[in-house]
Structure 1
Amino acid sequence: VPLGDLADTSLSDGPSQISREMGKRRIVVGINVRDRDLGSFVAELQKAVSSQIKLPEAYYLEWGGQFQNMERALGHLKIIIPITIGAIFFLLFMLFNSLRFAALIILVLPFASIGGVVSLFISGEYLSVPASVGFIALWGIAVLNGVVLVSYIRNLRDSGLTQIQAIRQGCAQRFRPVMMTATVALLGLVPFLFATGPGSEVQRPLAIVVIGGLMTSTLLTLIMLPTLYKWFEEKREGFD
């Protein structure tokens, strides 16, 4: 039986491959992002697609690739960051054997975070995975500076100095170590801040967060931490 008697045949252009997932047809559109962070690009693209493209019924979009991996990593960080803060608090409690002093030093974390958030806003970066890792590194440096200052003030108090004398002398003598720690960390990240080659999309947000956070945390640690220490001590003495 000739084929022409059973069907109409013709040559026409068509897809070379039909992909399916879970029994549904799908089309993959790949995009390579350069010279900017992935999060902000996808946010702009989602806004443009939602305003300019109307999908037919039963059609939908899924954002995958590196963006999907980044979203998954951010979900993990939402668990890791509270655990990190809890671990820092526990170690501070073990070091000082005091919930009061552990809470006092934990209060430097908002001081550090202010600079990191403002730096991200000024630079136009988004809260990405590298930026989140930068916050964790920043908190470690800020807590270290707080421990250096509070430990020295406590030692001066134990040696017999009054509260005001211990705070003044402690701030004066620990100013240089605190500034050196922050300056060395800051200078070490400057090359990442101006990186333009491959990997700069990871290095730059991390450096922006740490450098901006160090600027605020160092100044506020030297100003606010002694004030809070005095307030904590006065509350304790008043309670006693």
Structure 2
Amino acid sequence: MLTSLNLAPGPNQISREDGKRLVVVSANVRGRDIGSFVSESQQAIDRRVAVPAGYWLRWGGQFEQLQSALGTIKVIVPVALLLVLALLYLMFGNLTDGLLVFSGIPFALTGGVIALWAHGIPISISAAVGFIALSGVAVLNGLVMVAFIRSLREGGTDLDAAVEEGAIARLRPVLMTALVASLGFILMAIATGTGAEVQRPLATVVIGGILSSTALTLLVLPLLYRLFHGANEDEFDSVSSAQRSVVDSDGPATV
């Protein structure tokens, strides 16, 4: 007899990478973000597992893609925000109005975070993309409001009247922008089929952030404009009153 055949458990495939044997352990994460899961897993392995010499661990898959995407976002997002602020400064000619428009971004991001927390959705790359898109909508709404108030001021309207009229006149444009952007994401926010794990975080961030950003633009932004420009207005009024008193005391000029 040349040989004998026996059934015994064994590896069905021996994988190699860079000339070394490779064993892949897969896990699907649900109900939490991948970053915190991997961080907790690494700490547990460091405490409880003694890796023999010649062996090493490497975390890949979606976590590796997440780390690469986060590295790119950390560079692109600050550069984009600085460019937006620079464009606002060039448009208005002063940093105050640019920062007023820019103030819509933190309030919009706050609404997006609250929406994610309320729905129990962890932070992910798709949610980060939603935050980026949300920042653009927040800046656009603030720009519409501040630009209209400035145009009224340049036409000679009093500061309080310009703020009040600007808030009322820009109500419909801001609401239209918010409704179009939010209603278009409702189907994505309630999606349950294939790709829902990507669509839902993005749509939830956009809808929640637009609600808070719209409230800021319509209610808080006019008050901030009045607050920041009130000192200049009071100084302008005092100078104008002094000029009028000088003219009245001198009387009309005769030739």
Q: TM-score, normalised by structure 1?
A: 0.84
CA deviation string 1:39-74 (max 9, x = no partner): 625644764786599323335543211221122101
The whole-number CA distance in structure 2 between the counterparts of 1:173 and 1:238 is 25
What amino acid is aligned across from residue 56 of structure 1 in structure 2? A
Alpha-carbon distance, 1:143 to partner:
0.5
Sort the Cα spacing of 1:49 and 1:77 in 2 relative to 1 into closer, same or farther, 3 A.
Answer: closer
What amino acid is aligned across from residue 15 of structure 1 in structure 2? P
Sort the Cα spacing of 1:20 and 1:54 in 2 relative to 1 into closer, same or farther, 3 A.
Answer: farther
Alpha-carbon distance, 1:184 to partner:
0.9
Sort the Cα spacing of 1:107 and 1:29 in 2 relative to 1 into closer, same or farther, 3 A.
Answer: same
Partner of 1:120: 116
Alpha-carbon distance, 1:20 to partner:
4.4
Partner of 2:33: 40
Any gaps of 5 or more consecutive residues in structure 1?
1-8
Identify which of structures 1 and 2 has the higher relative contact order when contacts are C-alpha pairs closer than 8 Å and 6+ apart: 1
Range with greater deviation from structure 2 (168-177 or 48-57): 48-57
**Corresponding residue to 1:71 among 59, 67, 74:** 67
Any gaps of 5 or more consecutive residues in structure 2?
237-255
Asked which structure has the greater CA Rg, the reply is 2
CA deviation string 1:189-239 (max 9, x = no partner): 001001111111111101011100011110011111111111221244578
State the SS of the aligned residue for 1:28.
coil
**Corresponding residue to 2:51 among 57, 63, 68:** 57
Alpha-carbon distance, 1:141 to partner:
0.5
What aligned pairs does 1:137-216 form with structure 2 within 5 A after superposition?
137-216=133-212
Number of aligned pairs? 230
Partner of 1:104: 100
CA deviation string 1:72-126 (max 9, x = no partner): 1012111111111111111211221222211111111111111011111111122
Alpha-carbon distance, 1:31 to partner:
4.0
The whole-number CA distance in structure 2 between the counterparts of 1:187 and 1:56 is 53
Sort the Cα spacing of 1:135 and 1:239 in 2 relative to 1 into closer, same or farther, 3 A.
Answer: farther
**Corresponding residue to 1:95 among 87, 91, 106:** 91
The whole-number CA distance in structure 1 between the counterparts of 2:114 and 2:108 is 10
Partner of 1:136: 132
Sort the Cα spacing of 1:48 and 1:64 in 2 relative to 1 into closer, same or farther, 3 A.
Answer: closer
Range with greater deviation from structure 2 (96-105 or 190-199): 96-105
Q: TM-score, normalised by structure 2?
A: 0.79
